[in-house]
Amino acid sequence: MTPHEVVELIRERGIKMIDVKFVDLPGVFHHLTVPTAVIDEDVLETGLPFDGSSIRGFRGIAESDMVLLPDLNTVVFDPFVEGPTLSMFADVKEPGLKDYARDPRGVAKRAESFLKNSGIADVSFWGPEIEFFMFDNVRFQSAAEASYYFIESGEAHWNFGRGDTPNSGYKVKYQQGYFRALPIDDQTNIRTAMSLQLEEMGFVIERHHHEVASAGQNEINFRFSTLVDAADKASMFKYVVKNVARAYGKTITFMPKPLWRNSGSGMHCNQSLSKDGRNLFYKEGGYANLSQEALWYIGGLLTHAPALLAITNPSTNSYKRLVPGYEAPVNLVFSKGNRSAAIRVPSNFASAKTTRVEFRTPDPTANPYLAFAAQLMAGLDGIRRQIDPTKAGFGPVDKDMYHLTAEEKAKISSAPTSLRAVVEALRADHEFLLEGGVFSKELIETWISLKEEEIATLDNRPHPVEFEMYFDI
């Protein structure tokens, strides 16, 4: 939309507020609300000022003046705030509307430009599958004298014997939640409400269902799109899901592993490249109908996986999910239709239209703009260097990798087991991200610094399970 069209829309629909949204470096949503009485075409073209020093990973106090430049092609109605209100994403700019190197959305835009300029492809398509938990109530505390969390979920397997409230006995048994029907899946109607709201805001919803874990693990799938648009949608998805759940008296977490001994939540990233309208990843008759370019792309993803995980799995909690079992994609190999591999090639409908690769390791604590851009850069590096994943020892492996012999397992690389390990991998391997100025050294250094702070926060505190293990020694 043009500034004139937005101003006309405000007038015609009686819009009272403009809500401008952006994410910080870790990926957390922020917003600024402005009355439409002070909005005109000039404001929409020159942007809105804000204090960048108050946003994590942005600027110091001595250089804090920054600008939010609305992207008028992202305008939607926001149903969660008093209004009527128009919502739109914004790009973070320096004064003078100069590009800001640490703006996550700017990184994603530069990745798309780099792809086009490379001549390899015109466009990349992204379909994130975002899982989440919906709980009835959550309490947690971390202080000098106490540290705990407590989760309440009416459908949880540990509540079969609960007697303080009416108990129908319809609970999700341990690890038996996948595709369960009503009345076991008592969150069906809330997911439908979420899906309908997402559709009203421009999403194409393809399906929703209960996931494997007990205690409210859910998934809602929306249709793939181009990189920046898919990252916008992933960010808006979290916003909508949390707010609809709040209206129902529920709470949402995108933590990868909020429950011990239950499956964790991933953000499987389906991706492909296209040139002149042709899917570059498809070649009939190849392994899983994959082209040579697709295999090289896979080679890049798996070669750089230890460093990539610092961006795609960026929390200390991420590595509670990345443990053997629970369909956790810890094996750095590719495979056709195999969910125990880090990269799965979906084989349900292998055609020129649907062929893609699914990187299963990422989780929803990732900043989608950085995560998608980093994966694209790794894949393109694989194509440029012609990294053959088979020769590099990355498969394909078409067996259940949780039942291999010790000799077979020894030949398979595994994902790093801690945030500290992947941060060190990123420190050593990030040149592929700097190509074309997509990521900057400054951004990488800031990211590593933020992650080291998180690691130290956990490392320096007693953990409740340590009392169980060591208190009576």
**Active-site residue set:** 51, 129, 131, 211, 219, 268, 339, 358, 360
CA dist 185 and 303 (Å) reads 40
Q: The tokens 């939010």 sit on which residue?
A: 68
CA dist 231 and 106 (Å) reads 11
CA dist 332 and 306 (Å) reads 9
Q: Specify which residues 113 forms β-bridges with.
A: none
Contact in structure between 346 and 337 (CB atoms under 8 Å)? yes
User: Is 388 exposed, middle or buried (CB count within 10 Å of its CB: 0-12, 13-18, 19+)?
Assistant: middle
Contact in structure between 16 and 84 (CB atoms under 8 Å)? yes
CA dist 367 and 251 (Å) reads 20
Map the chain to HEC letters: CCHHHHHHHHHHHCCCEEEEEEECCCCCEEEEEEEHHHCCHHHHHHCEEEEHHHCCCCCCHHHCEEEEEECHHHCEECCCCCCCEEEEEEEEEECCCEECCCCHHHHHHHHHHHHHHHCCCCEEEEEEEEEEEEECEEEEEECCCCEEEEEECCCCHHHCCCCCCCCCCCCCCCCCCCCCCCCCCCCHHHHHHHHHHHHHCCCCEEEEEECCCCCCEEEEEECCEEHHHHHHHHHHHHHHHHHHHHHCCCEEECCCCCCCCCCCCCEEEEEEEEECCEECCECCCCHHHECHHHHHHHHHHHHCHHHHHHHHCCCCCHHHHCCCCCCCCCEEEEEECCCCEEEEECCCCCCCCCCCEEECCCCCCCCHHHHHHHHHHHHHHHHHHCCCCCCCCCCCCCCCHHHCCHHHHCCCCECCCCHHHHHHHHHHCCHHHHHHHCCCHHHHHHHHHHHHHHHHHHHCCCCHHHHHHHCCC
HSE, side-chain direction, 13 A CA sphere, residue 276: 2
